[in-house]
Amino acid sequence: MTTKRPAFLMIPGVIAIAFLVIPLLALISDAPWSAFPGILSSPTALDALRLSLITSVLATIVATLVGAPLAWLLARDSLPGTRLIRALVIVPLLLPPVVSGVALLSAFGRRGLIGGSIYDATGWQFPFSTAGVVLAGTFVAMPFLVITLEGAFRSQDREIEEAAAVDGATPRMIFLRITLPLALPALLAGITLTWARAIGEFGATITFAGNLEGTTQTMPLAVYTALESDRDSAVALSIMLLVVAVAILVSLRGYYLPTRTDRTTR
Amino acid sequence: MFARILPPVMAAVIAITHATPNAAADNRPNPYVRSIPAATITVSAAASLTDVFPVIAGAFTKRYPQLRVTFNFGSSNSLVEQIRAGAPADVLATADEVSMWRATNANLTGTPILFARNTMAIATPKGNPAKITGLADLQKPTVTVAVCAPQVPCGRLAAEIFSKNSVTVTPVTKEVDVRSVVGKVIADQVDAGIVYSTDVKAFPDDLTGVSIPTASNVVTNYPIATVNESRNAQAAKAFVDYVRYSASAQRILRAWGFSTPW
């Protein structure tokens, strides 16, 4: 079932493909292949990769645990000022990440609004800790989960929920057994987008959490630091991150494609 | 790797620096000033020059009214990488000779000359809340310390100071340029940072400096050079000469806390 491919769509579409793919191919063509094994097996690279995977997964879990309920509340207009809240929770998507980092410092730094009391009571602070990296990732990535999932909740057929309620299902049962399973493709899409945003996070992390190998230096920060002195290392680390990210996306078999959501929720 | 080839090169750089102190630069006749075509030059300069270079540029453009100066500040190594990648720059000024040598060695710049010298200091947030008195205090587990990454000059110098004084410091962060360390200290996110002496002097209202005695300290010399790809070679040369040889530029550098490498 080949559809028609009019030139006015084909030409810009092909330009878009070229624009998005050429820099990635150029990066790979720049690769210092002979130096690869040494660079990628260095403690710096392995620490950064481990840290990136751990923090991005943790950020995704935190974002899902609090973001999915928020998406439901927004979709069902259960909160006063839904429109305002929706606008506010999307703001981190629009902010330059470095601004998010500054904002996080104002809130969670050791002289911050909330971080100040934590530091005074315990002597512990989010900045310069792995928890700070997770916090930064959660802040910048959670909006992806919320907007993806809210759209799915909103377009759901409410009759099934109502029927279940008539039959005596509690709100918790309805949410866990009907609403969430029906939105599963959107949930997976949201989780994938959130994770992808978290693993690529740079600006808020370096601003808020600092840059220390093994503790806060994730792959993007390791690439940035390597660029200071050794471009080959930076390219090798970039390709490593690219390969890991693509491998994970492929293994998720395209759940991140919104069209799939539309098809199944209808 | 650089260490092996560096000493002869540094000797050459120093020899050139000392060869022709042209004290008459300030009194050059007007025809020379006018012979330089109008241009805007871009100066790629080390982060530690962020405050002083605009002041020098102000004096420079009074002398050469047809010239404009724009700046690109960053860590010395990243500036070199940018120029290697073809970024438009007319002049390069780095915070150490190692990074300049990378550029000169790659045939990116003309012969560098040394124009200033800096030392390191401990910066603490205003009032020194953690009561840091010297390098030894930075070893305490309760004291949080920010330094530069070892890839950039200020990080290399910090490591040299620690090893010279046999102190073992575990920093909480290794920033990619010195101004990021300064920012972390000013915001009171860390108890101390290793920065240049001139950084402490540049923020008298926001930082309290703890000086490191000369015997325990290390110095770094700042080289400046024209960039070979420059389209404004004459203007670039005029700026380099002005920074190194003019009494006004050297006076400004002194006022901002730099000393002389000669």
Chain B residues in contact with A110 by the CB 8 A cut-off are 188-189
**What does the pLDDT read at residue A244?**
87
Q: Assess whether B27 and B109 both reside in one domain.
A: yes
Q: Which residues pair with B145 in a beta bridge?
A: B192
Handedness of CA B191, B193, B196, B199 (dihedral sign): negative
| CATH, residue B190 | 3.40.190.10
Q: Assess whether B65 and B123 both reside in one domain.
A: no
Residue in the structure block whose two tokens are 């979709």: A75
Q: Buried b vs exposed e over A141-173: b needs ≥16 C-beta within 10 Å?
A: bbbbbbbbbbbbbeebeeeebeebeeeebeeee
pLDDT digits (tens, 9 = 90+) for A154-205: 999 889 899 999 999 999 999 999 999 999 999 999 999 999 999 999 999 9
- Establish if A36 touches chain B: CB-CB under 8 angstroms: no
| CATH number for the domain whose boundaries are A36-265 | 1.10.3720.10
Taking one residue from A and the other from B, the number of pairs with CB-CB distance under 8 angstroms is: 56
Cβ distance B174 to A228 less than 8 Å, yes or no, reads no
Alpha-carbon distance of A47 to A61, in angstroms, equals 21
Please give the residue that has the higher pLDDT: either A78 or B191.
B191
Of A111, A128, A224, the CB nearest to B173: A128
Q: Assess whether B13 and B103 both reside in one domain.
A: yes
Determine, yes or no, domain membership for B216: no
What residue in B sits closest to A129 (Cα-Cα)? B172
> Which of B151, B185, B191 is most worth mutating to test chain A (most A CB atoms within 10 A of its CB)?
B151
pLDDT digits (tens, 9 = 90+) for A23-71: 999 999 988 888 888 888 999 999 999 999 999 999 999 999 999 999 9
Cβ distance B77 to A228 less than 8 Å, yes or no, reads yes
Q: Assess whether B126 and B195 both reside in one domain.
A: yes
pTM: 0.82
Of A110, A215, A225, the CB nearest to B149: A225
pLDDT of residue B10 exceeding 90: no
Of A128, A226, A229, the CB nearest to B172: A128
Domain boundary assignment for chain A: 36-265
> Which of A229, A231, A237 is most worth mutating to test chain B (most B CB atoms within 10 A of its CB)?
A229
What residue in B sits closest to A216 (Cα-Cα)? B173
Within 10 Å of residue B28's Cβ, how many Cβ atoms? Answer: 16
What residue in A sits closest to B141 (Cα-Cα)? A123
Mean pLDDT of B23-41: 71
Residue in the structure block whose two tokens are 């990243």: B78
Whether residue B68 contacts residue B40, with contact meaning beta carbons closer than 8 Å, is answered with: yes
Domain range enclosing B76: 2-117+221-255
Within 10 Å of residue B16's Cβ, how many Cβ atoms? Answer: 14
Alpha-carbon distance of A195 to A141, in angstroms, equals 7
Q: Assess whether B104 and B122 both reside in one domain.
A: no
What residue in A sits closest to B191 (Cα-Cα)? A110
- Establish if A211 touches chain B: CB-CB under 8 angstroms: yes
pLDDT digits (tens, 9 = 90+) for A207-231: 999 999 999 999 999 999 998 878 8
Pick the range with the lowest mean pLDDT from A156-160, B191-195, B253-257: A156-160
Mean pLDDT of A252-262: 55
Give the closest residue to B76 by CA, choosing from B109, B124, B125, B121.
B109
Cβ distance A228 to B146 less than 8 Å, yes or no, reads no
Cβ distance B144 to A128 less than 8 Å, yes or no, reads yes
Give the closest residue to A127 by CA, choosing from A217, A216, A44, A48.
A216
Q: Is B247 exposed, middle or buried (0-12, 13-18, 19+ CB in 10 A)?
A: exposed
pLDDT of residue B20 exceeding 90: no
Q: Assess whether B103 and B140 both reside in one domain.
A: no
Cβ distance B189 to A212 less than 8 Å, yes or no, reads no
Cβ distance A212 to B172 less than 8 Å, yes or no, reads yes
Q: Assess whether B185 and B138 both reside in one domain.
A: yes
Distance from CA of B153 to the nearest CA of A (A): 10
What residue in A sits closest to B177 (Cα-Cα)? A228
Q: Assess whether B226 and B111 both reside in one domain.
A: yes
Determine, yes or no, domain membership for B261: no
Q: From chain B, which residues contact A within 8 Å (Cβ)?
A: 75, 77-78, 81, 142, 144, 146, 149, 151-152, 171-176, 184, 187-190
Pinpoint the alpha helices (H) of A95-230: 97-108, 115-122, 130-154, 158-166, 171-174, 180-182, 184-200, 203-208, 219-227
Chain A residues in contact with B188 by the CB 8 A cut-off are 110-111
H or E element: which one contains B207?
Answer: strand B207-211
Model confidence band, residue A1 (pLDDT cutoffs 50, 70, 90): low
Alpha-carbon distance of A166 to A174, in angstroms, equals 11
Determine, yes or no, domain membership for B232: yes
Q: Assess whether B108 and B71 both reside in one domain.
A: yes
Within 10 Å of residue B259's Cβ, how many Cβ atoms? Answer: 15
Distances (CA, A) of B113 to A96, A190, B116, B256: 39, 56, 10, 20
pLDDT of residue B38 exceeding 80: yes
What are the structure tokens assigned to B23, written together? 């004290």
Distance from CA of A129 to the nearest CA of B (A): 8
Alpha-carbon distance of B39 to B28, in angstroms, equals 20
